[in-house]
Structures are given as structure tokens and as C-alpha cells.
């Protein structure tokens, strides 16, 4: 890392890196269970056979994804957020990302973290103006801004990590186990 930055900024940047990595992996794992995939029939077979396990994992991954991603948009000056990255506020489009992040935090607060009594249904959350693609876009834009800052600060960009291969091996192993027990 570039030692020209104060230690607390370097610590914040490293925390932001870890937060983005986790958010990416949580989203990827959740989408592997929830979304469209070429091996969808194999995935569904494993999900159906081990439904108790996956019915708890699927929402846990979603909650972890939203809770982790929303950390980047905390407004408290004492908190680590994207705003801790030097000069990020000067990036074109950053203000728009922050507005989207505020909507994400509202979603997190109303449905996940605090369970607003008036907002217990998905329809009411949609009224906040977020879709799955919008949330994915917030993650992708956050990663893009981090990587741009990393280039300027002469630090490593986000690594290309993926859990898809591990998940598909797990699905194959579970399906083999199911087939041998049938």
C-alpha cells in the first residue's frame, strides 16, 4: 500500500476492500442458489433434497449481502465507508452512487436490521425503488470506484475471487450422495 496515507486511512481502505470482497461473494453465492444458471436443474435437485439446509442458507446469504454492502454507505463520521477513500467524492457519478446507497441502507433498516412494523412485505420494500439489479449495480459501482481509487493510490485493486466453482462441486457432491442413497 501507499504509505503516503495516514495509518487510519490505510486501515479504512483495507476494511473497505474486505467488505467489497465479502459482498461480492455473498451475492454470488446467493445468486447461485436463487438465479438463472446453466446447471440450474442440478442445483434445484440438491436444493430440493437438502431443502432444510438451503432454506436457511438462501436468506442468510441475502441478509449478509445487503448488510455487508450497506456498511459502505454509513454516514457516521466515525464509521468506515466509501467516503474514507481519499478524493473519491470528486469522482464523476459518486454522488449518485451515494444516493443509491442511502436507499439501500433504508432497505436494510426497514426489512433486515430493524424490521419496520409498517414494512414487512416485499412490495413495500419495492416502493423504496430497489430491484435486485439495482442492488447488484450498487455493488458493481462500488467496486469500480474502489479499483479507480486503488490505481490512483498505487494499491492493489480488488482480487477476482469466485465461489461458483466450490458451490457447483458441492451441488455435484450432494447430488451424488442423493443418488447413492436412493
CA distance 157 to 163: 19
Q: What is the predicted pLDDT for the residue at 15?
A: 97
**Looking at the predicted structure, is the pLDDT value of residue 3 above 70?**
no
Q: What is the predicted pLDDT for the residue at 121?
A: 55
The helix or strand, by DSSP H or E, that contains position 19, with its residue range, turns out to be helix 7-34
Q: Average pLDDT of 74-97?
A: 94
Q: What is the predicted pLDDT for the residue at 115?
A: 66
The confidence band for 130, taking pLDDT boundaries of 50, 70 and 90, is confident
Segments in 71-131 forming alpha helices (H):
94-107, 122-126
Higher-pLDDT residue of 114 and 85 is: 85
Q: Say if CB 139 and CB 16 are below 8 A apart.
A: no
Q: Say if CB 82 and CB 88 are below 8 A apart.
A: yes
Q: Say if CB 108 and CB 67 are below 8 A apart.
A: yes
Q: What is the predicted pLDDT for the residue at 181?
A: 74
CA distance 153 to 104: 28
**Looking at the predicted structure, is the pLDDT value of residue 2 above 50?**
no
Mean of all residue pLDDT scores within the chain: 90
Helices (H) and strands (E) counted in the chain, each on its own, are 7, 0
Dihedral sign for Cα atoms in the order 79, 80, 84, 89: negative
The confidence band for 99, taking pLDDT boundaries of 50, 70 and 90, is very high
Residues 17-57: tens digit of each pLDDT: 999 999 999 999 999 999 989 999 999 999 999 999 999 99
Q: Average pLDDT of 168-182?
A: 88
CA angle 103–107–112, rounded 5-degree value: 155
CA distance 121 to 57: 20
Amino acid at each position: 500500500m501507499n504509505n503516503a496515507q495516514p495509518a487510519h486511512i490505510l486501515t479504512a481502505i483495507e476494511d473497505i476492500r474486505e467488505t467489497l470482497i465479502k459482498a461480492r461473494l455473498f451475492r454470488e453465492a446467493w445468486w447461485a442458489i436463487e438465479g438463472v444458471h446453466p446447471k440450474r436443474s442440478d442445483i434445484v435437485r440438491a436444493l430440493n433434497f437438502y431443502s432444510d439446509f438451503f432454506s436457511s442458507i438462501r436468506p442468510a446469504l441475502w441478509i449478509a449481502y445487503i448488510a455487508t454492502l450497506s456498511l459502505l454507505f454509513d454516514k457516521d463520521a466515525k464509521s468506515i465507508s466509501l467516503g474514507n477513500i481519499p478524493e473519491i467524492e470528486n469522482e464523476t457519478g459518486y454522488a449518485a452512487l451515494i444516493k443509491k446507497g442511502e436507499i439501500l441502507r433504508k432497505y436494510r433498516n426497514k426489512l433486515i436490521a430493524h424490521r419496520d412494523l409498517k414494512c414487512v412485505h416485499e412490495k413495500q420494500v419495492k416502493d423504496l425503488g430497489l430491484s435486485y439489479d439495482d442492488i447488484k449495480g450498487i455493488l458493481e459501482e462500488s467496486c469500480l470506484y474502489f479499483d479507480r481509487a486503488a490505481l490512483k493510490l498505487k494499491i492493489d485493486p480488488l482480487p477476482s475471487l469466485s465461489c461458483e466453482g466450490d458451490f457447483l462441486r458441492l451441488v455435484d457432491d450432494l447430488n451424488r450422495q442423493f443418488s447413492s442413497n436412493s
